[in-house]
Structure 1
Amino acid sequence: MRKFFNFCFEVEFYLKIAITCTIVQQIFYWLLHNIELNFITQVLLYWLVGSISFYSIGLFIEKVIKNNDNLREKLTARVKKVKTQPFPSFTAKGIITGEIKSFIAALIILYLAPEVNRGNSLLSNLGWFLMRIIVADFCFYVSHSLLHRKFLQKIHLKHHEFADSSSFVAGHKSLTEYIIVTITDLLPIFIFGYDITQLCAWTIIGNAYNLEGHSSLSIFFVPSDFHDLHHSCFKRNYGIQGFWDRLFNTLNPPTKKPGIMFPVAYLEHITMKLSNPLN
């Protein structure tokens, strides 16, 4: 029974990503399908969507949700306590450097990847995004696990300066790691091509689950302290979520966060409680 719930737990995450990406893609398609976008316009759009969503989602989590005591207590996923750390402040130099990296990455990605038009079919887009998150999770698992090997650890240590975590730790990487993670995350785009509406949708939702995953909260996408445990222990839990870690036996079992936003964890909690009424 528990193995069944574990499988459903991971599938729920993949489906959430695919469904929300499909919804956001429909919005971009409605806005853009009658507009002819040249290469530079697409690069600027992709870069701006990524940058604006990254900072706005991160600030909303850190300054709105975490500043509300009730919400913070209710949504906190971290179970293993760690020493509170001060996080680095934003600086003009840091923001400018980050935006230059993001713009160059957007330029290279759209230049190298073939452009395709996948339209607005709900079913085909849902299937595309479902494939996209499963493949992206696998690519991230492989690259991330390699970054924890002794000969590559130095590249990744900047990100692991924090055992405690904050949303914007998601972007706290060395340049080399940034390049590696960007390439592996976008490998499916190089192989299968990009539709600008899909790419913009993926960027927003990708920023949302990445920032949430580093926030120590379970808000909508992240249903456990999976990534918190990775930062606390520096090993295991190398994927975006636990599917590939479970498959390759590198899982540090997370504490699931039951609630209305996480129906599988809630159903498992109720089922186990009914089957073990004395616990």
Structure 2
Amino acid sequence: MKKIFDFGVEIEFYLKIALTCSLMQQLFYWLLHNRELSFIAQVVLYWLVSSVSFHGIGFIIEKGIKRNAALKEKLSVRVKKVKQQTFPALTVKAFMMGEAKGFAMAFIVIALVPEVNRGNSFLPNFGWFLMSIISVDLFFYICHSMFHRIKFLRKFHLKHHQFADTSSFVAGHKSMTEFIVTNVADLMVIFVFGYDITQLCAWTVIGNAYNLEGHSSLSLFFISSDFHDLHHTCYKGNYGVQGFWDKVFNTLNTPTKKPGLMFPMAALEHKIMKPIKKSLESKYDAKTN
């Protein structure tokens, strides 16, 4: 039964990504479908959406939610404790370098990838995003595991692993090589099948949201466990976005699920499995006594 619930949590994550991306795409379609956007306008739009969503969501988590001690404790999923670290302050130079890399990536994507208009039909978009997140999770798993297992590549990943005590913005703390590889993995489906600017913007916002949450040590909406937290703590296993591909390839470092209103599968598992566990413990105590 536990395996069924584990699978349910992973599928729930994929469905959340597909659903929120589809809803976000509807918003961008409503804003943009009557506008003819030039090449440079699309580059600037894609870059701005990526930058504003990354910094905006990150600041909400770090400067808003985490400053409320009771809320932080309620949402925290970190079980394995680590020594707290001081994170580097955001400097003007670092900010400008990050934005330059983001703009360059936006320029390359819009320049190289063919544009495809996929419209705003909800179900086809939902199917597209569902296929995309499952595929991207696999691509990311392959690239990420290579960064850990291949000695030559490992040095490019060490910058990201300077921090065992994670915060949201650690998601963007990468070497240039890792930045390129992970962005290509994230956009692999778009490189193959072409981009729709409304889908691309929606994918960027939601991708930033689950990436920042995954590095925050909190469970907010997408991540119901300390899955990526354990990766930073242990430096091995949990190479995917979520646990599905790690389970397939036997690299899963079992996370601790945190049930709640936003995580129905984890909440249902907790509700069903807790009484069963107590019953088994009671029977075991009765036998031993």
* TM-score using structure 1 length: 0.99
Once the 2 structures are TM-superposed, how far is the Cα of residue 277 of structure 1 from its aligned partner? 3.2
Identity of matched residues, %: 66
Once the 2 structures are TM-superposed, how far is the Cα of residue 137 of structure 1 from its aligned partner? 0.5
Once the 2 structures are TM-superposed, how far is the Cα of residue 272 of structure 1 from its aligned partner? 0.6
Higher helix proportion = 2
Structure 1 moving runs of 4+ over 4 Å: none
1:136 matched residue in structure 2: 136
Once the 2 structures are TM-superposed, how far is the Cα of residue 274 of structure 1 from its aligned partner? 2.7
Within a 5 Å distance, the mapping from 1:154-233 to structure 2 comes to 154-233=155-234
Once the 2 structures are TM-superposed, how far is the Cα of residue 184 of structure 1 from its aligned partner? 1.4
Query: Does the alignment pair 1:112 with 2:112?
Result: yes
1:75 matched residue in structure 2: 75
Q: Distance in 1 between matches of 2:107 and 2:93?
A: 21
Higher mean displacement: 175-184 or 159-168 = 175-184
For 1:182, what is the secondary structure of its paired residue? helix
2:269 matched residue in structure 1: 268
Q: What is the one-letter code of the residue matched to 1:26?
A: Q
Once the 2 structures are TM-superposed, how far is the Cα of residue 183 of structure 1 from its aligned partner? 1.1
1:88 matched residue in structure 2: 88
Once the 2 structures are TM-superposed, how far is the Cα of residue 273 of structure 1 from its aligned partner? 1.6
For 1:148, what is the secondary structure of its paired residue? helix
Once the 2 structures are TM-superposed, how far is the Cα of residue 151 of structure 1 from its aligned partner? 2.5
Q: Distance in 2 between matches of 1:273 and 1:95?
A: 47
Q: Distance in 2 between matches of 1:124 and 1:146?
A: 33
Q: Distance in 2 between matches of 1:49 and 1:276?
A: 46
For 1:103, what is the secondary structure of its paired residue? helix
Q: What is the one-letter code of the residue matched to 2:250?
A: N
2:52 matched residue in structure 1: 52
Structure 2: gaps (5+ residues): 282-289
Once the 2 structures are TM-superposed, how far is the Cα of residue 133 of structure 1 from its aligned partner? 0.4
Q: What is the one-letter code of the residue matched to 2:70?
A: N
* TM-score using structure 2 length: 0.95
Once the 2 structures are TM-superposed, how far is the Cα of residue 180 of structure 1 from its aligned partner? 0.8
1:242 matched residue in structure 2: 243
How many residues matched?
279
Once the 2 structures are TM-superposed, how far is the Cα of residue 38 of structure 1 from its aligned partner? 1.0
Residues 162-205 of structure 1: CA distance to partner in whole angstroms, max 9, x if unpaired?
00000000000001110111111111111000000000000000
Q: Distance in 1 between matches of 2:105 and 2:215?
A: 22
Q: Distance in 2 between matches of 1:11 and 1:164?
A: 28
Q: Distance in 2 between matches of 1:188 and 1:237?
A: 22
Structure 1: gaps (5+ residues): none
Q: What is the one-letter code of the residue matched to 2:92?
A: A
Once the 2 structures are TM-superposed, how far is the Cα of residue 70 of structure 1 from its aligned partner? 1.3
Q: Distance in 1 between matches of 2:208 and 2:144?
A: 17
Once the 2 structures are TM-superposed, how far is the Cα of residue 99 of structure 1 from its aligned partner? 0.4
1:31 matched residue in structure 2: 31
Q: Distance in 2 between matches of 1:3 and 1:47?
A: 40
Q: Distance in 2 between matches of 1:194 and 1:257?
A: 35
Q: What is the one-letter code of the residue matched to 1:173?
A: K
Once the 2 structures are TM-superposed, how far is the Cα of residue 275 of structure 1 from its aligned partner? 2.1
